[in-house]
Amino acid sequence: MNTEPVRKRILAANDEAARANRERFAASGTLVANLISSPGSGKTTLLSATAERLHHRIRAAAIVGDVATELDAERLRVAGLRAHQIVTGGACHLDARMLAEALPWSGWPAVDLLFVENVGNLVCPSSYDLGEDFKVALVSTTEGHDKPFKYPAIFSRADVTLVTKIDLLPHVDFDLETVRGQVATLNRRARVLEVSARTGEGLEAWCGLLTARLEAKQRAEAVPT
């Protein structure tokens, strides 16, 4: 059975919903970052540390996707970040309609920065536009340095690649220059940042990137057309 026509219809419907989301975010001046990684790369821990550094400057919230439980959203709330959990019930990714339905519970539109913590998966989420401003791919030092070439779809589409758990680098077999080279081959415009939520290393650069992108978006939206 040829399932390609069905898949195309699903993606077309998703793209339409993503366009509507993008228009909403443009109107409110909200910067949206879609974080994608395999399970255990440290997305939730990173967002907790990011929220602690930005909460005096930027109104931020998160929408979290998981197959089951609300544990990640609860952790983010403890860190002071307004968070809403989407339990997908088995789906391996978030789509644009799921995101749209969750927006009223995220605090949007009274939010400057919205993080989408996608379901832990490097394959399925890469195909779905949510209406975000940019994708962020995470790879931890504990996963190995072959991830970009093994999962090229997401690393070729992500504006930013974060190498997480950089504090463990002396203790694991991980070649940072290999990751940088693979990412550069897949996407010359992508930025690669190394971060550790545990020690704080690299977080200022990450928060600076977010702040700069938010300011640029708000300036662009303020320019009369």
pLDDT at 156: 98
List the chain domain ranges. Answer: 4-222
Tokens encoding 175:
């070649």
pLDDT at 223: 65
Q: Quick check: helix, strand or coil at residue 68?
A: coil
**Do 47 and 162 form a contact (C-beta atoms < 8 A)?**
no
pLDDT at 9: 85
Distance, CA of 121 to CA of 71 (rounded, Å): 17
Distance, CA of 142 to CA of 160 (rounded, Å): 19
Q: How far apart are the first and last CA of the chain?
A: 48
**Do 206 and 199 form a contact (C-beta atoms < 8 A)?**
no
Q: Which residues contact 129 (CB under 8 A, 6 or more apart)?
A: 14, 15, 18, 96
Q: Does domain 4-222 have CATH number 3.30.2090.10?
A: no
pLDDT at 8: 81
Tens digits of pLDDT across the chain (225 residues) = 566 776 788 889 999 999 999 999 999 999 999 999 999 999 999 999 999 999 889 999 999 999 888 899 999 999 999 999 999 988 899 999 999 999 999 999 999 999 999 999 999 999 999 999 999 999 999 999 999 999 999 999 999 999 999 999 999 999 999 999 999 999 999 999 999 999 999 999 999 999 999 999 999 877 665
pLDDT at 103: 96
pLDDT at 6: 64
b/e code 19-31 from CB counts within 10 Å (16+ = b): eebbebbeebbbb
